[in-house]
Each structure stands twice: as C-alpha cells, then as structure tokens.
Structure 1
Amino acid sequence: MDSSLHTITTELGLDPRIFHNPAHFIASVREGVSGQVLRRALRQLGSELIFAQALHTDSAGLESYCTDTPLDRRRSEVLLDTIRILDRVRRTWESNELAQQWLHSNVPALGGVKPVEMFDTYEGRRWVTQVAEKVEHGDFS
C-alpha cells in the first residue's frame, strides 16, 4: 500500500484500504462519507475551488456539507474520487505547492485547459489522473 495514500486516509479519518480495495470504496460510498471528511480534506489539501466544482456548489454549499451528517452516495463518491486525485497529483509533484501550481496552469495535454476546470465531471477527473500518471512516468510535463 502506498504510504502517501495511507497517510492521507488516516489524516482524513478514512479506512486506509478505501483507495486500494474497491469493495471498501463502494461500501463507504453506499454508507455515505461524513461531511467531516470534506472539512478535513479542505484543511489538508486546500483546493476549495476544486471541491466546490466537483460537488457542483460554492463556498457556502461546501460549508453546509461539512457536518457530521453523511453525504449522499453521489457526493460521497465524488468527494472520495477528488481526494484520491488530489493526493495523486500531490505525490506526482512531490509538493503541495507545485501540485497547486500545476492544477492552476494551462496544461497542453488537457487541451490547454487548467486541471482545476476538469473536476466537475467524472471523465474530466479521470483525464487529470491519466495526465498526472504520465507526468509521473516522464511521458511529458
């Protein structure tokens, strides 16, 4: 298990197996992820704009989700997917600051779009992940 993902899951109060075991991921989504996970993710990962875009809301909406109440399935899945991707990007760039710079830069491999603009759809988040993986493996920057 990747120690970085283990660390982020522990910091966020998630089961460390959640991103490595599809059954755990699905069970967590079905159960509903606590809004406190979102609160901790905002604190740990920053990226309020990304979380707001992914969850199709604004700052006030994000704040309303940051409670002990579990999020619905759709929001739980989007939240977990976004956390996984942001951690992936952070590990790729080996720095939260460099990851944030990349997320807010126009990336040719994304058609010249900023990665932050891609989090509002599943396919956009998947594309960001694919590009981050290619960068990590030296395919392009």
Structure 2
Amino acid sequence: MMAKTIEVQSKLELINDLFPGFDIMSPSDYSAIIRSGITGEKLKAITRLTGEKDLIARAIGVSSSQLYRCYHVKRLPSHVTVNLVGMLQVFVHVMNIYDSVNLAKEWINSQIPALGGQVPKNILHTTEGREIISQILRKLESGDYS
C-alpha cells in the first residue's frame, strides 16, 4: 500500500486533532465521538478543513447562509452530530482512496454512474445515502469499478 501524500496525511491529522484520543475512522471511536458531541467551534473547524460549506450545511440540516449561526452553539444535537460525523467519515474515506483532498471534493460533487448518475453530495446527509456511498467506496477499494 502506498503512503499517503503529505496533503492527505496533514488533513487527516487535523481532522483527528478535533477529536483528541479518537480516530474518526475507527468504528469503536465513532460512538465515543458521538457521545462527546460536537461544538459549534468544532463545526467551524470541520467546515474550514473540508472546504465544503454546502455539504456540511446539508449534513446538519441548515442552509449554507445559516451555517455560521451554528458555529456559536455549545453543542450540536446528537442526531446532527451523527449526520456530521457520518458525512465526515465518508469524506475521509474518499480522501484516502484518491489520496487527494481535491480529488475527493471532485468525486463528492460529480455524477457517479454507480449511483445512477446521482451526485454523492446530494445523498450524504442521509444514513441510507452514506451507506450506499460507503458500499461503492468499498468496491472501488477492491478494484470493482462497475
């Protein structure tokens, strides 16, 4: 397996630094991250790190123009945290596959034939959408490009 590029490794470290002691991609750490919650400050950092304001806003159920209001909340509601962390896991997964932040953003914002021409960004805000996308990503990792 190839080593991650410095760009991707740095981004992963910055994302994980938001959750001290936890790995965003670890299934066992996922529950702990959800229980500890996400503050508005962390939300702002996630938005800055991903550069995906519209994606983040949709994941937490607000418009892009209202996202800034959420930066001031003490703690996001648990259902919002679940959607945000789930979306972030998919974003990191795509970043790992393509070993590029820019290619990950491009993929998330492109029509994907395996999704029937849908754009991942448009279904990442739902649990079902994230699961479908995760299945496709697992196929990509195993070399199945159908």
Gaps of 5+ in 2: none
Question: How many residues of Structure 1 are paired with residues of Structure 2 in the alignment?
Answer: 137
Separation in 2, partners of 1:136, 1:109: 14
State the partner residue of 1:90.
Answer: 95
Report the CA distance between 1:68 and its aligned residue. Answer: 5.4
Instruction: Give the whole-Å Cα distance in 1 for the aligned partners of 2:43 and 2:59.
Output: 12
- Once the two structures are superposed, the pairs formed by residues 90-109 of structure 1 within 5 Å of their partners are 90-109=95-114
**What TM-score, normalized to structure 1?**
0.84
Distance 1:37 1:82 in 2: 14
Deviation (angstroms), 1:19: 3.6
1:15 maps to which residue? 21
Contact residue 54 and residue 119 of structure 1 kept, 8 A: yes
Residues 30-72 of structure 1 deviation map (CA, whole Å, 9 limit, x = unaligned): 3421122211111111111211121121123321111351111
CA distance in 1, matches of 2:92, 2:138: 12
Partner of 1:110: 115
Once superposed, which parts of structure 1, at least 4 consecutive aligned residues long, lie more than 6 Å away?
none
Q: Distance in 1 between matches of 2:116 and 2:106?
A: 17
* Matches of 1:127 and 1:133, distance apart in 2: 10
Map of 1:28 onto structure 2: 33
Question: What residue is the counterpart of 2:75 in the other structure?
Answer: 70
Q: What is the root-mean-square deviation of aligned Cα atoms in Å? A: 2.2
CA drift of 1:90 comes to 0.8
